[in-house]
A and B are shown apart, each in its own frame.
Chain A
Amino acid sequence: MTAGRVTGKALVYLALVVGAAFCFLPVFWLVRSSVMTLGDIFKYPPIVWPARVHWQNFADAMQASPFLLYFRNTMIVVVPNVVGSLLTASMSAYGLSRFRFPLRNFWFALVLGAIILPPAVVLIPQFLLWSNLHLVNTFLPLIVPVWFGGGAFNVFLLRQFFLTIPKDFDDAARMDGASYWRIYWQIMIPFIQPALIAVGLFQFLFAWNDFFSPLIYLSSKETYTLAIGLRFFIGSYATFWNNLMAASLIVIVPPVIVFLIGQRYFVEGVTLTGIKG
């Protein structure tokens, strides 16, 4: 290695460390603040880590706001979201990628258009629809639409994946007398499993993190999800930074665990959409 290469390498590592610090420091500050007393938090010069870890903040946060109820509500929304998107997005993508039928490209173009469409645009009429059905402040507005294709983005991702499977598989199975449903269920689903896991993870995160729709549709404490519950916690406890950080951590930990478990599939899923898009 020449001297130039050594400095180059050192610069790369230096830049990486700076960037990683930018990403990591806020998270560290969150964890640190969530285990400190208010007295420790407002000390100057600041202390990096408390002498005694103050777990009480989590109990205080849970006491101040019914986070267990919010957790239950979030799961009531998240689980049907994941199941609905896995089933209907894979069916739709299978239909759009492996069958010839009139207007197929037209429908696929609409799917692409729907990816670009900001959800806020169709918010007003959708809200009026649910309001006329007297289903506002139930979980249905957050669940039912997902069972119609599971999101245009997911359909697109799975279609890209279906296109990589040779058509011979279908033809051979048809020769053997397999029905289209059996081909879908017994041949295609195992094939696209990695992409399905990615879709499931995306939908889990999306539903867990979603703020806009629950804000619009859920209007009483009994139906709040964690995201909405946390927003009202911010409103009432904005000066109790230690409790607020503990509450935030409660909301953050589940998706982070899911991410760490499914990391590989995340990367594959994201890559697939970006590169082939």
Chain B
Amino acid sequence: MARGACMPAARRSGGPEGGGMRRRHLHAEALEAIAGYLFASPVILGLLIWVIAPMIGVVLISLTDWNVLTAPHWVGIRNYVKLFTTDLYFWNTLKVTAYFVVLNVVCTTIYSLVVAMLLNQRIRGRSIYRSIFYMPTIVPVVASSALWLWLFNADFGLFNLLLQGVGLHKSLWISSQTTVVPSIVIMSVWGGAGNTIVIFLAALQGVPRQLLEAVEIDGGNWWHRFRAITLPMISPVTFFNVVTGLIASFTIFTQSYVMTGGGPNNASLFYVLLLYREGFQRNNIGGAAALSWVLIVIVSLLSLLIFRTSRQWVYYEGGNG
């Protein structure tokens, strides 16, 4: 943002402005605007064609009973009414998805921060550790779904072998209604924390050493340093990680599609899986469009909520956040 401030200065450096100069100046400005639009045209056209038009389309389609087989009819808000009143899955899906989102964001954030703080210590082999912690993020989700199906296997999976090895009971993992979401969270923390760790680590490296030392001189221990300096200093980054984490978690699809098909008993029927099922397996295009629009509203509200509350817990240097 600082760069924007010095732009008028560059504009003023055009020299004394006579009539001809001004015309040439205007000409240069128009030329710059045209060139700017031309360069930015791919993303501008992309936004219009692939984002804005489809978003309007979703609204219109959601007001019809389109099912591919017959011509669509205008049904007003019936799809929405159905969703909120008689739909068999909608409320359950919202509940299940919210459960996953909260658990996943909390676990991923805490895990990433702890790992980043460990990597921020003076340790030997830091880059090797960093690669190991990042590696799972590289694994394609379909492949990790195959792998974790195997790890969660009730009889010969690694986890139950380990549990048995230390004398504990086997778990049903993704085959039980009560443990399916926590199991997918474990998998998601494993596969989804890489970027969050890297971002936290960079933020931690930016915490001024003299501030930490000042706490130490005052007799504070590591917890005081963490609480009084580190946590506030990295709060903008925590904020960024939480927002991106929330949205990514809300659109989880592949894991449940491949591993559980939404089961057992719809306990992992996440939002996008329901949307996919309505739109592409039941050909209920109108209903799926209504689900899409509700998803936009939910994600926007969530983002807004976090932005609103961020002033209370996010510390910006310079104090004008």
Contact = CB atoms under 8 A, between A and B. Distances in A.
Interface stretch (B73-81, B87-95, B224-232, B246-254): B246-254
A118 B272 contact: yes
B114 interface: yes
Given A99-B33, A107-B47, A120-B251, A167 B10 contact: yes
Contacts of B275: 120, 123
Interface stretch (A50-58, A75-83, A189-197, A269-277): A269-277
Given A26-B148, A117-B299, A245-B150, A211 B140 contact: yes
A52 B17 CA distance: 85
Nearest to B53: A125
Contacts of A119: 251
A127 B121 CA distance: 49
Contact of A149 (B38, B46, B153, B202): B46
Interface string B36-72: 1111111111110111111101100100000000000
A16 B118 contact: yes
A124 to B, nearest CB: 5
A11 B280 CA distance: 51
B206 interface: yes
A209 B202 contact: no
Interface stretch (B130-138, B171-179, B211-219, B311-319): B130-138
Contacts of A126: 50, 54
B275 to A, nearest CB: 6
Contacts of A273: 199
Contacts, number: 285
A208 B143 CA distance: 11
Contacts of A121: 55, 58, 292-293, 295-296, 299
B142 to A, nearest CB: 5
A205 interface: yes
A91 B50 contact: no
Contacts of A152: 43, 47
Contacts of A41: 156
Interface in B279-321: 279-280, 285, 288-289, 292-293, 295-296, 299, 303
Contacts of A149: 42-47
A270 B241 CA distance: 12
B147 interface: yes
B42 A92 contact: yes
B125 to A, nearest CB: 9
Interface string A86-126: 00110110111011111010010011001011111111111
Interface string B236-251: 0100110100010011
Contacts of A155: 43
Nearest to A91: B39
Interface residues of B, number: 97
A242 to B, nearest CB: 10
B7 interface: yes
A83 to B, nearest CB: 13
B198 interface: yes
| Most chain B beta-carbon contacts within 10 A, residue among A20, A25, A150, A247 | A20
Interface of B: 3, 6-7, 10-11, 29, 32-47, 49-55, 57-58, 61, 114-115, 118-119, 121, 123, 129-136, 138-151, 153, 156, 158, 161, 190, 195, 198-199, 202-203, 206, 222, 237, 240-241, 243, 247, 250-251, 253-254, 257-258, 272, 275-276, 279-280, 285, 288-289, 292-293, 295-296, 299, 303
20 contacts: A12-B118, A12-B123, A22-B190, A92-B40, A99-B40, A116-B299, A120-B253, A122-B58, A145-B50, A148-B46, A148-B49, A149-B45, A167-B10, A230-B140, A251-B143, A256-B139, A267-B130, A271-B198, A274-B202, A275-B199
Given A107-B40, A118-B251, A215-B257, 7 more contacts: A19-B133, A25-B158, A30-B150, A124-B54, A149-B46, A152-B47, A270-B198
Instruction: Kindly list the 5 A-B residue pairs having the minimum CB-CB distance in the complex, ordered from nearest.
Output: A99-B36, A148-B46, A95-B39, A149-B43, A95-B40
